[in-house]
Structure 1
Amino acid sequence: MDRLTTIRIFYALMIALAPLAHRPRQKNAADADDAGRDALPANAFPKWARASLPTLDSMSDVEAAVLAGASLAALHAVVTSGQREAPPFLGVLRARQALAAAAHCAPAARLREDDAALRDALLLAAPDAALSPAGRLHALFRLFGAPRFGGDHGDVECAGELLGLNGDMAEYAEIVCAHVAGAGEPLGRSVAAAQAIARRAGANGARAEAAELLALWGADLVLAKRLGWERPLALLALRVGGMRDATGRRLRPGDAAWPSAALRAYALAAADAHLAAVDLQRRASMLVAVLPKLRAKPAGRVVALLLADDGVTPAAAARATGMSDRAARRLFDRLVELGGARELTGRETFRIYGL
């Protein structure tokens, strides 16, 4: 990106963050915690930054970069919250983004599973069972929400194992570290990291789809670190797969037009994630509101599980809380009845519940 692009992105960030800088000061720490849990207003996202793909395609790279910067700034305000504690729904948002990323990448990985099948492949797998290809793809993007994830060498190595990559994964970890530490604005470093990872993987003889997936994963990792986020959100994979060249061919990190496509993908994906956060904040508030109506002693722990992940099975809740399977099923039925949770599968058996 040229200097003009960087300057314009900077001013877009300032415009988007200006309302946050002028919030009234909270009276005390308790008030601040309560404010962090207030419903996220839909108008927290600047209307001028929300655009469709056709509109973005008609823009220059500089204009697309401005929208991407503004979208990420608005999402940054959600992810970091400005408070001592993260928003209570952030775990669900991260898990839902991971599921959506896996669903968007499934065709490129030569898989036929949709989002429901990808969820089943991971949440219904036995604790010690080997994951299916669909489960590994889902697990790749769920690494961002894994306990103790730090984006270090071990995490990059784990991503490579899930993708079936051979060789020294330290090379890819070095690329990530170099782009996190180098000069430049976050978007440009993220896009450059994806291209560098794809080139290195191709030179190492990796399968094209595995190289592309690692590049998309690595790009979001670099972006999060450059933005100062505690953990990444899956973003790029949700939109860049829909980008095509003039012949209709899907663009990949090695293509000359891919950096332009990635800018537009980030603008769309960040806007989508912000919209999802608005909805999840509302659902999380409804779930917390029904907690006093639940009689089961482990209800609070089950609510915490629902606030931490995309979906929870009664069996998993029973293992985590010491409840019987039957008691866990009754508790989830009660949560659905009160409007605090939804059943996500539509099945009579092997049900999964979530916000």
Structure 2
Amino acid sequence: MKHGNGAVMAYIRDFDYVGTLMATLGLLLFLMGLSWGGGMYPWRSAHVIATVVVGFLLLNRDWLVCILMWSIGASVYYAFAVIWPDMVSALYADQHDVMWGGWAAGVVGGGITLGEILAGFAKRRLHWVIRVVFFAGAALLACMATCTPDTPTRAIVLLLLGTTFIGANECLTSTCTSICITDQREIGTALGIGGSSLSFVSTLCGTVYTVVLANRLATTIPTQVPAALVAAGLPASQTEAFITAYGAGGAVAASAAGVVPGLNATILAVGVHAYKVASADAYHTVFYSTIAFSGIGILLSIFVPDVDKMLTGEVAITLRPTENADDVVARDKLEEEDVRA
């Protein structure tokens, strides 16, 4: 529809293969460098510096900044949509009924959606709005590291506010991604590549968060829980049985007859609290790890382009033939054509 009848061969002939290759390689190299830094290689290593610099030079800077800001913001939803429900189940669910746990688990999706709705009211100075909402969201999510098994309300409020700001960032940066490209007629391609970047970065962040959580749980629980159980009076030989039973089915499974010999109500309460504290410490590390990605986003936000001058109210491309497909068609002209039709 966009290119008209009989334009297939012309489109294949005129397609910018070199530009597409540069954009693909640039994005791949840039993201590889960011993912390698501080992990596989030191940030100042030649591997990281070379991939980041070369990737950056191969891409349009304004467009690159927008899609990376969009991707980092979206990764919060995809990652925390997995992490947060587990945290609710591990730390807070047994203190409330089943419905409370369900509503609490929906905070991430609710916050992102609310932020996207509110972002629709932003009309001008979008680059400044993006900087403010991303910084606020990053700070609030980092503050989640202060939450404990006894602070469910604080956790919900911080996460709801944080994801609301990040949702606003996602909406605004995705919009800017479609505006800041040089040729507005390629809006679909720009958003398509941006969506691919979003999926890649979200998968990367989600993997990092889940791996960090698993590694920390494997350290904090064996270190903290047995000591608390032994101090409460449980034989040291039964601590592993308690950890296994509680990890599989919570307090009900751990307190089942014969599962953990020597366990009583007092020891059970101590063990449950110790397990939750150890789990909370692991989740704290996950929230601290968000600072690495947020730091990149805050740095990139400095370079978010000012698109106000591009908000002209014109339609750059339509899905129906016009008198001259190469011309930018004003919105009022399209409306006049509709009236005549």
Larger radius of gyration: 2
In the superposition, the TM-score normalised over structure 2's length comes to 0.30
Q: Which of 1 and 2 has higher RCO (CA within 8 Å, sep 6+)?
A: 2
